Amino acid sequence: MILNKYSRIYTQDDSLPASQAMLIGSGLSDADLRKPFVGICSTGFEGNTCNMHLNGLADEVKRGVAAQGLVGLRFNTIGVSDGITNGNAGMRFSLVSREIIADSIEAMAGAHYYDALATVVGCDKNMPGALIAMARLNRPSLMVYGGTIRGGEFKGQQLNIVSCFEAYGKKVNGQISDEDYRGIIHNACPGPGACGGMYTANTMAAAIETLGMSVPASSSLPADSAAKTQECLDTGAYLRRLLELDLKPRDILTREAFENALVVVTVLGGSTNAVLHLIAIAHAAGVHLTMEDFQAVSNRVPVLADLKPSGKYLMEDLSKIGGVPAVQRTLLDHGLLNGDLMTVTGRTLAENLADVQPLGAEQDLLRPLSNPIKADGHIQMLYGNLATKGSVAKISGKEGLRFEGPAIVFNSEEELNQGITEHKIKAGQVVVIRYVGPKGGPGMPEMLKPTSAIMGAGLGDKVALITDGRFSGGTHGFVIGHVCPEAYDGGGLALVQDGDWIVLDATKNTINVQLSDEDLAQRRAAWQRPPLPVRQGVLLKYIRTVSDASHGCITDLFEEDQTGAPYPPAPSVQERGNLTTSNA
């Protein structure tokens, strides 16, 4: 069996001496050149708790790879911290980084013909970026999640990253002292790991584990746990098995696997960012996934997990009672998951879960189906004259299912933040944040700072927010994002004025401003597109290539061919007759 069918193209070809000389010069032996090459990509960087430890985990992966007779070759790509950039202009680069990550991994692994790929990733966009690259390349691959952060504590209050944003709202409204405000900041992030609630990082990690692209429990192990280190060491054995089976991402990333992932995201009360990311991953894998598919799952699957942001527990707490595998086993036993699907272990989901105990009455983190937190899904797709191509609502049920009121309009997040500071937001209003979409932002920034500040000000259940931008997984309240078409493209949000009456209905799945078609047509005729928000660089490239949010904000939408093809194809042994036919 040929396990090095890609790398051998240049390691075993006598006409490519320079390639071999550079590999030998970098420390490889002649024997190494006959082994399969595994690219090990880390998004590790200093200065962010989600990513600060990833290079160390990647070193453990390399040790595990070497123990299996494989050659591990480390490389890095970027990671933009959502927590650090939220609430400032740096957030414009966050979603953009997903594409840079995907493109750079594809470029490295494609250019150097790695036979297999392992990615060690942490923050929100790291994971979908890595999966997009894996699906494009379609070589044996798996993802290692860097793990969740431990919870913080201050004066008896349990803390996480969102506590800081909400503390700001309390500070602005004089509800906490400066000393306590600083105390929360100093204690919210006690060590390495991604944000601890069911925010975007943990949502995507759980979804990807359910897709079958990471090993069991990867998504729920704490970053600093011994089990996470052992997972990294075990990665080599899994990769060798994938190579022996020739089991590739597109064999795993099937339509049914995505349906499983949607079920787990719904049950856990996951982030609305899962809509963007799973649509984008599916596109890369040649699977047609739409907003309607999310709605179909929300129509039949309840929210069961009492996890933050709207609930009580952190991912660390779930890990203590069996982690995501225990949730999967519970859902499998109730017929909500398809257990016959292959995973990176070389076994099916059901086989992975055979010895896992389901969750029962001994805990209250996951409710029974007979007593759900919400009888249907929290992620709802709303359509109307404000979102003719759809929008994504996060409705936990705690904030009600219907909201109507007069609009108060802000043309940027900065304007809204200033409005919060000046106490312009009043109970009963529908807050409109526009020109923050994929193009208008650019980069579709998250609105975590304003939503958290509103929560901190005690208005979380008294106002609604709608935007063509995104909401963080840490956001809660009556919030609707991903409004399509975005305001920059002349969508309905661009036409709203202060005082317009807006009606939001999560039971009828509608989002409308109470204006006639004639009134909207008159406003549209008078509307002028604002100038481009940037003039050069990566953000301008993004504006010119990004699709709308309903298509996952991908930058390689090719309407004539939604299936794509793995990149790049490997020449066969017959096509390159001078190559050897074994690894020996």
DSSP 82-115: HHHHTTSGGGGGHHHHHHHHHHHHHHHHHHTT-S
Q: Do residues 49 and 27 lie in contact, with contact meaning Cβ atoms separated by under 8 Å?
A: no
Classified as helix, coil or strand, 496 is coil
Give the pLDDT of residue 566.
Answer: 54
User: Distance between CA 366 and CA 328 in Å, rounded?
Assistant: 11
Total residue length of the chain: 584
Residue among 472, 516, 572, 582 flagged as catalytic: 472
Q: Give me the half-sphere count of Cα atoms (radius 13 Å) on the Cβ side of residue 399.
A: 28
* CA distance readout (Å), 450 to 32, 90, 169, 379, 399: 54, 15, 9, 20, 17
Token pair for residue 10?
A: 């240049």
Q: Find the helix or strand (DSSP H, E) in which 42 lies.
A: strand 37-42
Q: Domains of the chain, with CATH numbers?
A: 36-147+193-352 (3.40.50.2300), 379-526 (3.50.30.80)
Is 472 marked active-site? yes
The total of other beta-carbon atoms located within 10 Å of residue 226's CB is 9
Q: Find the helix or strand (DSSP H, E) in which 177 lies.
A: none
Classified as helix, coil or strand, 120 is strand
- Output the known binding site: 50, 82, 124-125, 446
Token pair for residue 444?
A: 């579709």
Q: Give me the half-sphere count of Cα atoms (radius 13 Å) on the Cβ side of residue 201.
A: 33
Place of tokens 């904000």: 553
Gyration radius (Cα) of the chain, Å? 24
Give me the helices (H) in 375-516, please.
413-421, 448-456
Token pair for residue 440?
A: 């208008």
* CA distance readout (Å), 496 to 480, 489, 511: 15, 14, 13
Amino acid letter, 431 = V
Q: What is the pLDDT of residues 135-181, one digit of tens each?
A: 999 999 999 999 999 999 999 999 988 889 888 878 888 899 999 99
Amino acid letter, 316 = E
Determine whether 224 is exposed, middle or buried from the number of CB atoms within 10 Å of its CB (0-12, 13-18, 19+): middle
Classified as helix, coil or strand, 47 is coil
- Output the known binding site for Mg(2+): 82, 124-125, 446
Place of tokens 């070193």: 59
* CA distance readout (Å), 478 to 428, 455, 475: 12, 11, 9
Give the pLDDT of residue 580.
Answer: 38
Q: Find the helix or strand (DSSP H, E) in which 567 lies.
A: none
Give the pLDDT of residue 388.
Answer: 97
pTM for this prediction: 0.94
pLDDT beneath 50: ranges in the chain = 560-563, 567-584
Classified as helix, coil or strand, 24 is helix
